[in-house]
Amino acid sequence: MDNFSKIIINAVDYVKTAVVKIDVFKKIKDRIEIVGSGSGFLFSTDGYLFTNSHVINKAERTRVTLYDGREEEASLIGEDPHNDLAVVKVSAFDYKPAIIGDSSSIKIGQLVIAIGNPYGFQHTVTTGVISALGRTLRTQSGRLIDHIIQTDAALNPGSSGGPLIDSEGHVIGVNTATIMGAQGLCFAISINTAKSIALQLIQHGKVRRAYIGVMTQEAELLKNIVQFYKLKNKNALFVVSVEPKSPAQKSGIKDGDFIISFNEAPVNNTDQLFKMLDMQKIGAIQTITILRGQQLIELKITPQEGK
């Protein structure tokens, strides 16, 4: 047998018992029926496993099929639609979990292997290379995920939530999406991102994010304003409305203002502001700079925890 095949076989053997099939059930006309399926993988010895949020979203019942064919009812621990990740738990204690790798050390061109259950075919293995790193992908919730891994390892419906592994069998990503109609464009959430999200999901059942209470839309700034104040951004967020009793209202932000920066970091669009409003900002005084008319104003704001 050639060495390349041996590498793939050994890597798959290292992780295969941790990979599971996930069936999602919903009530349809007074009957509970399967409405979709996906993949997942155990990452702890006490039954916690990763999958995608879009796989289990609004499921009324979730069933996990383990490597040996045993079926387990799964309970949702928490999900984060903004990063398309979910953690569920089963009572499977006698399975070797996947070994979590470090996605910060991977390289473009590196061999990767995807394992999943496309179209219900369990433990399907595909191979490829890392095509690009640091991609940004928009999820079904409309938010952008950073640090996405692009690969040409084939993914199909049902592969979502399965592991992307390296040649040693260590998980470096959670498979999440393909671009319909494109060939060789498949994506995985980096495992380092997934690890940080899993900690919050297990502790809180959700990802804690800060909230300030404004409705905004992206707007282009006038060139003379950019030049006069020597701004680093050409766009800003136009404040359409401010929620009553929100942190934004308490700080003095008004309808018609333009949000220019947050803690001196330029704000060009909603996604940039959303990423800045992480859990560390909850309850902590921050600086927000607005443009009102032709006057640049710096305000203090204390974000609250979002619902």
- Residue 180 pLDDT > 60: no
Q: What is the CATH number of the domain that holds 143?
A: 2.40.10.10
Pick from 228, 284, 292, 281: nearest CA to 259: 292
Strand partners, 217: 238
Beta strands in 139-208 (DSSP E): 144-151, 163-165, 171-178, 186-190
Which is nearest to 101 in space by CA: 88, 112, 90?
112
pLDDT at 104: 87
pLDDT score of 274: 84
Q: What rounded mean pLDDT belongs to the chain?
A: 89
Q: Quick check: is 80 in a domain? A: yes
Report if residue 3 sits inside a domain: no
CB 285 within 8 A of CB 302: yes
Q: Domain span at residue 258?
A: 210-305
Q: Catalytic residue numbers? A: 54, 84, 160
Asked whether residue 6 is domain-assigned, the answer is: no
CA-based Rg of the chain, rounded to a whole angstrom? 22
List strand residue ranges (DSSP E) for the chain, in order.
Answer: 19-28, 31-42, 48-51, 61-65, 71-80, 85-89, 111-116, 124-138, 144-151, 163-165, 171-178, 186-190, 210-211, 214-220, 235-242, 258-262, 265-266, 286-292, 295-301, 304-305
71 lies in the same domain as 146: no
> What's the residue count for the chain?
307
Looking at 29, 55, 89, the residue that finishes a domain is 89
Residue 5 lies in a domain: no
Q: Do residues 84 and 107 both lie within one domain?
A: no
pTM: 0.82
Q: 300 and 216 in one domain?
A: yes
pLDDT surpasses 90 at 1? no
In a domain, 134, yes or no: yes
Q: Which of 204, 239, 262 is the last residue of a domain?
A: 204
Do 198 and 254 fall into the same domain?
no
- Say what the alpha-carbon torsion angle 159, 75, 36, 40 is, to the nearest 10 degrees: 10
**pLDDT-wise least confident of 37-46, 95-104, 131-140, 184-193:** 131-140
Query: 130 - beta bridge partners?
Result: 151
Instruction: Please give the Cα distance from 21 to 118 (Å, whole number).
Output: 10
Question: What are the φ/ψ torsions at residue 254 (nearest 5 degrees)?
Answer: -125, 160
Distance CA 68, CA 212 (A): 48
Per-residue pLDDT, averaged over 165-171, amounts to 96
Could you tell me the pLDDT band of residue 183, with boundaries at 50, 70 and 90?
A: low
Per the domain annotation, does 7 fall within a domain?
A: no
> What pLDDT, on the 0 to 100 scale, is given for residue 120?
65
User: Could you tell me if 85 and 75 are in contact, meaning their C-beta atoms sit under 8 angstroms apart?
Assistant: no
Tokens of 79: 């999900």
Domain-ending residue, one of 89, 124, 141 = 89
Condensed to tens digits (0 to 9), the pLDDT of residues 61-90 reads 999 999 888 899 999 999 998 889 999 999
Q: What is the 3-state secondary structure of 34-64?
A: EEEEEEEEECCCCCEEEECHHHHCCCCEEEE
Structural domain total, the chain: 3
